[in-house]
Amino acid sequence: MALLVLLCTSWGIQQVAIKIALPGVSPLFQSGIRSVGATLLVLFWMNIRQIPVFEKDGTFWWGMIVGLLFAGEFILIYWGLEFTHASRGIIFLYLSPFVVAIGAQIFIPGEHLVRIQVVGLCCAFMGIIIAFSESFSYPTRQMLIGDSMLTGAAFLWGATTVMIKASPLVKIRPAKTLLYQVGVSAMVLPVASMLKNEPGIIMITPLIACSLIYQTQWVASITYLIWFWLIRNYPPSRLASFTFLAPLIGVIAGGLLLNEPLTFRLIFALLFVATGIYLVNRPFNAKR
């Protein structure tokens, strides 16, 4: 439980860390730095643990697809946060558990939704409608663009999770699965940054440097490996019920650290989404 609270806190603060670094490092270039650094750290970890990198296990093309989905997800996250608040973005990003819940019905044998999980999906959907309605009050509609991009990122994140569970990737070591994701994105994201004509590094301050280190060494490397370790050793249904903490922490962090507005409508939407995530992922009695 302590590790799960630590992970959800880290993931909730990540969007705030991205926003902090945006004035000094372009969004896609920033994401590229994160992936390159994480790739090197994961390779270092695999070398220490003597985990083979080039073992023929039939997962190469699956890994490439997952890596492209992962890269697309972070293109949308980092770019989308140029248009919307971190506290809003975290709400839309954490639609991903619902994408997983629906995708599992189609692609993963034996998965099914019970009544309380359907209620959870509807509850979260209402929360997103409430949050989206706030964007229309902005004349430029920039927040609507950012919200849509973060929603797209949530879809790609969920699709990545479903593909891992439904493909041979589920049988390999977690470190190699993570390497596919950060490794492919390390090649794609810098190219995307160049195609967007980003300036790259504009300035580096101690705060921006700390943000990049936090994203690379902690979030993209250590927390993801911890999460995969937890999945291997504990029931996933119990783990997943804790993920509702991340959007709660993200919204609070955005308000406290970035002085972003915590409107009543946004908080009300967040409560709907958090409740929905909990209901979808809570342990249930299969006999009911």
Q: What is the pLDDT of residues 97-108, one digit of tens each?
A: 788 878 888 887
- Predicted confidence (pLDDT) per residue in 210-246, tens digit: 999 999 999 999 998 887 777 666 655 556 667 767 7
Phi and psi torsions of 205, nearest 5°: -110, 165
Tell me the pTM.
0.84
Report the DSSP beta bridge partners of residue 201.
25
- Residue-range definition of the domain harbouring residue 268: 2-281
- Which residues are bridge partners to 25 per DSSP? 201
150 assigned to some structural domain: yes
182 within a domain of the structure (yes/no)? yes
Tell me, yes or no, whether 288 lies in a domain.
no
Residue 287 placed within a domain: no
Above 70 in pLDDT, residue 37?
yes
The DSSP 8-state label assigned to residue 50 in this structure reads: T
Q: Is 60 inside a domain boundary? A: yes
Question: Exposed, middle or buried: residue 145 (CB in 10 Å: 0-12, 13-18, 19+)?
Answer: middle
Please state the domain count of the chain.
1
> Would residue 286 count as lying in a domain?
no
Residue 18 lies inside a defined structural domain of this protein: yes
CA 274/CA 148 separation, integer angstroms: 19
Q: Are 219 and 169 in contact (CB under 8 A)?
A: no
Determine, yes or no, domain membership for 180.
yes
